[in-house]
Amino acid sequence: MHTKQRSVGQLFFRSVFNSSHGLLKQRMRDLVPVKQALLRDARKKYGSKEICKVTVDQAIGGMRNVFAMFYDASLLDAKTGITMRDYNIPELQEYLQKAENGHEPLPEALFWLLCTGDFPSEQEFADVQQEWKQRGQLDSQTQQFILNLPKQAHPMTMLSQTLLYLQKDSLFQQGYDQGKISKPQYWEYFYEDAMNLLAKLPRVAAMIYRHKYKNGEIISADENLDWAGNYAHMLGYNKFEVRECLRGYLSIHADHEGGNVSAHTTHLVGSALADPYLSYSAGVNGLAGPLHGLANQEVLKWLLEMREELGDNISNEKIQDYVLTTIREGRVIPGYGHAVLRYTDPRFIHQKEFAARHIKDDPLVNLTAQCYHVIPPVLKTIGKIQNPWPNVDAHSGVLLYHYGMREFQYYTVVFAVSRALGCMANLIWSRAFGLPIERPGSITLKWIEEKYGDNQNLK
């Protein structure tokens, strides 16, 4: 019995390291020791340097502007917005591969960039694309699991549960349980799980959509299409410009530095060596919160309510009054403002330009563009609002709505398909860097009073 178990373990060990001869994994094998050395050198030189001071108000107020985690793939700047491996949104659109006759960056190319820091060659891009096609099949048991999920469940619940179901296939978990993995090899197993998860994710997400909203009428994959284009096809949207919309959407939402709820949750759970399926299921649950991934639904709801109350051809003055009424009622203007940004979100501009290229005479799209000019000056008159400019959510839901996706609850699933790209790249590198379990300290009300209260000098 013992001999048989050892044989199975050895076969498993060999299968993992022979299962991926892709160019991306080869490139990362070259990069990992180089980046590990750079990190060791940075810690040696700067390990004692102070990044920031933390106030009691920051500790209580959600740790805003507390720079306390290492997340190497992307950075959020108040002026320039998100950069992924130091490239901004316009640069990603310019330099990443595109579909034939398309303008939008393709996620396969972006994932290469997130993992390596370099734009892929045509061969490297095609290699990732082919790997995802080979890894993307869903077996009949997984398909049946999705089709058995209760239709009254939220689509994000369905996605989280399916990721947990797929966890049975985690190569990291299997190898760790068998005691066959040493710490320097963790990243390779995380890589395999991450690639499998990403490859399957569009099929899972599309099947959830068809199961919940389209009477379980599943659309088979089209292997001639790219990752995002195939996702649009399996959802049931086959116009070229809809595929382009999803290509852009999935690329610009892919990462947003490490402190947002979905990325941070995935990173935190992964730091406990929970495999990518467990980690991203947790991240998806965070993304489902109304203050995170549901924001574009709130924008769309607000705009539709405005149109219902004020009709079409709304004047600038009526929009101004509607904004002020919304604020007087104690509500925020959805899609405007950002925790970090102090200028218009470049992702909003990206989508606005997409709409200008592809969409003519849509009242809701036109209203979105009108609000962009009208709302910021109104918000500037309100002193407590630091950023009156639109963020990405001010436009993303409007595009999905224009192309016929009226199932608002599903919008966050589209977001989740995108955000997996950044979260998976970070998980792989977190294990390659050997980052420890994340365990910040915490404080209590009594601690605050004892440390800073009137009686502190009496002790």
Give dist(CA 282, CA 276) in Å, integer.
10
For residue 445, the Cα-to-chain-centroid distance in whole angstroms is 34
Greatest Cα-to-Cα distance within the chain, rounded to the nearest angstrom: 80
Cα 310–Cα 311–Cα 317 angle in degrees, nearest 5: 45
SS3 276: helix
Burial 355-385 (b: 16+ CB within 10 A, else e): beebbeeeebbbbbeebbebbbebbeeeeeb
Cα–Cα separations (whole angstroms), residue 380 to 241, 299, 343, 374, 383: 35, 19, 12, 11, 7
Distance of CA 449 to the CA centre of its chain: 39
- Identity of the residue numbered 290: P
Strand partners, 84: 74, 87
Helix axes 363-380, 393-402, angle to 10 degrees: 170
Burial of 258 (0-12, 13-18, 19+ CB in 10 A): buried
Say which DSSP state 118 is in. S
373 assigned to active site = no
Q: Which of 77, 154, 169, 292 is catalytic?
A: 292
Six-digit token pair at 301?
């709801």
Looking at 193, 264, 393, 395, which residue is catalytic?
A: 393
How many angstroms separate the CA atoms of 112 and 241, rounded? 24
338 has catalytic annotation: yes
Is residue 130 exposed (0-12), middle (13-18) or buried (19+ Cβ within 10 Å)? Answer: middle
Contact 419, 263 (CB under 8 A): yes
Q: Is 253 among the residues known to form the active site?
A: no
DSSP 126: H
Rounded to whole angstroms, the Cα distance separating 354 from 391 reads 15
Closest Cα partner for 421 from 231, 220, 242? 231
Question: From the candidates 338, 350, 358, 402, which is the catalytic residue?
Answer: 338
**Number of H-type helices and E-type strands within the chain:** 21, 2
How distant is the alpha carbon of residue 370 from its chain centre? Answer: 28
Gap between the Cα atoms of 8 and 10, Å rounded: 5
Residue numbers annotated as active site = 292, 338, 393
